[in-house]
Amino acid sequence: MSWDSYLDNLIGHSKDASGAAHVDKCCIIGLDGGAGWTTAGHANALKGSPTEFANIARAFKSKDFSVFQANGVRVEETKYQFLREEDGKTVYAKKKEHGALTMQASKTAIVIGHCPEGGQQGNTNKAVAVIAEYLESLGM
């Protein structure tokens, strides 16, 4: 089964009333170790390194986000400033002129959406939540 179709779905859920998408890149990684569920071959894939994704997965698994507070969140060799976490399941980060990240965990995965600079992060937050909650409803 290809998880890449979930990326198209996530982007679709980020669209506003005018049809503009507010997620330009996204991925789904495993909560155990950060291995990619989606492929880097997708046109809108967020292509973090195995180390970057492993660090994200480790923080979510332990629910200890102090490493993000101290060192930021790194994806695609860009360091995003940690903004906040909610309920040990959702993390928000931003880098001026690079956009923002929304990450939300389900039982076994982490859905990551990137909002381009000038986009509406609220739409990204909603889209990431829809996919993460759907995976959760499937027991994933």
pTM of the model: 0.96
With a CB cutoff of 8 Å and minimum separation 6, the contacts of 46 are 25, 26, 27, 75, 76, 112, 113, 114
Rounded-to-integer distance, Cα 140 and Cα 1, Å: 14
Domains of the chain: residue spans and CATH: 4-137 (3.30.450.30)
pLDDT of residue 30: 96
Rounded-to-integer distance, Cα 119 and Cα 16, Å: 10
Write the pLDDT tens digit of every residue in 4-16: 999 999 999 999 9
HEC sequence for 46-58? CCCCHHHHHHHHH
Write the pLDDT tens digit of every residue in 31-63: 998 899 999 999 999 999 999 999 999 999 999
Write the pLDDT tens digit of every residue in 85-138: 999 999 999 999 999 999 999 999 999 999 999 999 999 999 999 999 999 999
